[in-house]
Structure 1
Amino acid sequence: MTRNIRLTIEYDGSRFCGWQTQRRTRRKTVQEEVEKAGRKLFGKKINLIGAGRTDSGVHAEAQVANFRVDSRLPLRNIKKGLNSHLPKDIAILSAEDVKSDFHARFDAREKLYKYTIINRKVRSPLLKRHAAFISYDLDIGAMKKAARHFVGKKDFRSFQASDKKERHSVRTVTKCDVISRHPIVDIYIQADGFLYNMVRNIVGTLIDVGRGRTKPEQVKKILFKRHRSAAGQTAPAKGLCLVKVLYQPLI
């Protein structure tokens, strides 16, 4: 009996070369580790489809993936069995049977990312792998004003990695919030899709606003220029986390 299994996966991306299997390198990826665990559990290869291709060093609270397998193992045994074969920085939070045509990537409607900054004078040893450290004061009010300009259907070419040129660079951002709980600053960005490094480049621009280098209203001009050089630097990968993948109906 062929089943389509949907997984929800949490991982610390610090020591992984991103989500997607890299055929030309020996560096480990999250997809590769889960597929290896699946082979051990089922005695056969599984092909894992992930909702989001997180980059090297990026984390996930709830990555979604699916695979097809001919097995009668109960779901609780699949979850437990996969976890028993996975390294400690990857965990299967849930396993469930879904319709045969469910596709983790193509059925995703929106994704929510969170970027975490530790904003104080002294670095944080506890958060060093999960937050960007900024020692200078940030103007949170200005960052909040700037964040509003990213919401809506816009051309985000200015926030695409300079070495990546996708033909279509229009995306719809439904949320861009800056939330401060000193010394932690969390930036939440939700959209129907993302260009390569788009979130980290938006964050870099918001940091420039927080430092006073860029005024909030200048975000409009940066978007209009449609050139990577107009935006801020790319924020470090370690502060970025995939929080949630939303499907239809949005849940």
Structure 2
Amino acid sequence: MSKQKVALVVEYNGAAYKGWQAQKYDVATVQESLEHALTKIANHPVNVICAGRTDAGVHASAQVVHFETDAVRPERAWTLGVNTHLPSDISVVAAKNVGEDFHARFSAVSRRYRYVIYQSEFRPAILAKQVTWTYKNLDVERMQRACEYFKGTHDFTSFRAVGCQAKSPVRTILNFSVDRFGQYIVLDVRANAFLHHMIRNFAGVLMTIGAGEQPVEWAKTVLDAKDRTQGGITAPPFGLYFVDAEYPSELEAPTVALGPHFLPYKQEAEYVLPS
């Protein structure tokens, strides 16, 4: 019997996990939990491939994965059935049979994250490890002007972690916006791909500028330096959400509404993929 390829959209609160990727040490990871639940439904070992690995403490509202199986199951088995075997902080929210050409990682043409900052005099108890708290007053307009320097294709050495294993620091930022929703300030960024800690380092620079501690032009100074030591702090992981992976329409990948669900929906500006 030929194998069927299935794509899933997975939502998770990453606070209790050492990141997405299964590890050889006995630590909790999202991948390991998901594969265990899928194995229960498929009745054979299942290995999944994701659109983009997330670090410890990072969340997702629309992580895309695929796996192959020779088990014949209705799509509801891969959602409702799998969810009965998952912890409460991980949920499969969409499933679809896809063609053999689909690959969760290599077929993706872009990825999108939202970084959620909660601005208040007092630290939050609700959503404590699902938002990044700051007591400082942040100027969203300054942050928006600063992030314009990051759009386009650049060498982002200043924004990659020291231990980043990517072969090249060059990435293309397709969209980058900063919006306020009440006490939430949201950095919304789409790129062809991201470097390790790249968005958290963006957030560190933009929060410093928003607080008035550096001029708007400092964003360009850091970018042009191509030196991580010039990039300021790495913001915490708590506010970071993987919210979308984009695929060519002909692959018919499963989709869900933009998350995380406690934020209002915002229409993304149009962009043109680089040729």
Place the TM-score, normalised by the shorter chain, in its bin.
over 0.9
- Give the SS at the match of 2:238: helix
Which residue is 1:12 aligned to?
13
**Aligned 1:134-213 pairs, distance under 5 A:** 134-164=134-164, 166-213=166-213
Q: Give, in whole Å, the separation in 1 of the partners of 2:78 and 2:53.
A: 23
Give deviations 1:29-86, integer Å, cap 9, x for gaps.
1110111011111221011001110000000000000000001111112222111111
Are the counterparts in 2 of residues 61 and 242 from structure 1 also a CA contact under 8 Å? yes
Given that residues 158 and 226 in structure 1 are in contact (C-alpha distance below 8 angstroms), is that contact kept between their aligned partners in structure 2? yes
Report how far residue 249 of structure 1 moved: 3.5
- Cα RMSD (Å) of the superposition? 1.3
- Take 1:95 and 1:117, find their aligned partners in 2: how far apart are those partners? 31
3-state SS, counterpart of residue 221 of structure 1? helix
1:175-212: CA deviation from partner (whole Å, max 9, x where unpaired): 11110123110110110000000000000000110122
In 2, the alpha carbon distance for the partners of 1:172 and 1:178 equals 18
Per residue, is there more strand in 1 or in 2?
1
Deviations 1:85-121 (A, max 9, x none): 1111110111110001211001111111000111111
Q: Check whether the contact 1:202–1:232 (CA below 8 A) recurs between aligned residues.
A: no
Give runs of ≥4 in structure 1 deviating > 3 Å.
Answer: none
SS at 2:23 equivalent: coil
- The 2-side partners of 1:243 and 1:177 are apart by 14
Identify the range of structure 1 (210-219 vs 198-207) with the bigger mean alpha-carbon deviation. 210-219
Q: Does 1:221 align with 2:251?
A: no
Quote the residue 2:131 is aligned against. 131
What's the secondary structure of 1:158's corresponding residue? helix
1:12-161 mapped onto 2 (5 Å cutoff): 12-23=13-24, 25-161=25-161
Deviation at 1:18, TM superposition (A): 0.7
Residue 203 and residue 86 in structure 1: after superposition, are their counterparts in 2 closer, same or farther (change >3 A)?
Answer: same
Taking the aligned partners of 1:86 and 1:136, their CA distance within structure 2 comes to: 38
- Could you tell me how far 1:165 is from its partner in structure 2? 5.1
Tell me the distance in 1 between the aligned counterparts of 2:93 and 2:215: 42
The percentage of counterpart residues that share the same residue type is 37
Kindly tell me the number of residue pairs found equivalent between the two proteins.
250
Secondary structure of 2:243's partner? Answer: strand
Q: Does the aligned pair in 2 maintain the 1:117–1:131 contact within 8 Å?
A: yes
Question: How many angstroms apart in 2 are the aligned matches of 1:182 and 1:74?
Answer: 42
Please give the alpha-carbon distance, in whole angstroms, between the structure 2 residues aligned to 1:162 and 1:42.
Answer: 40
TM-score normalized by the length of structure 2: 0.88
Once the two structures are superposed, residues 144-171 of structure 1 have per-residue CA deviations (whole angstroms, 9 ceiling, x without a partner) of: 1101111111110100002325331110
Compute the displacement of 1:213 (Å): 1.9
State which drifts further: 213-222 or 61-70: 213-222
For 1:157 and 1:201, the matched residues in 2 are separated by: 11
* CA–CA distance in structure 1, aligned partners of residues 78 and 168 of structure 2: 39
- Consecutive unaligned residues of structure 2, counting only runs of 5 or more, are 256-275
TM-score by length of 1: 0.96
**Are the counterparts in 1 of residues 43 and 71 from structure 2 also a CA contact under 8 Å?**
no
Tell me the residue number matched to 2:266: none
Asked if the contact 1:17/1:55 (under 8 Å) is kept, the reply is yes
The one-letter code sitting in structure 1 at the alignment partner of 2:207 is I
Q: In structure 2, how many angstroms separate the alpha carbons of the residues matched to 1:129 and 1:185?
A: 16
- Give, in whole Å, the separation in 2 of the partners of 1:167 and 1:64: 23
3-state SS of paired residue (1:108): coil
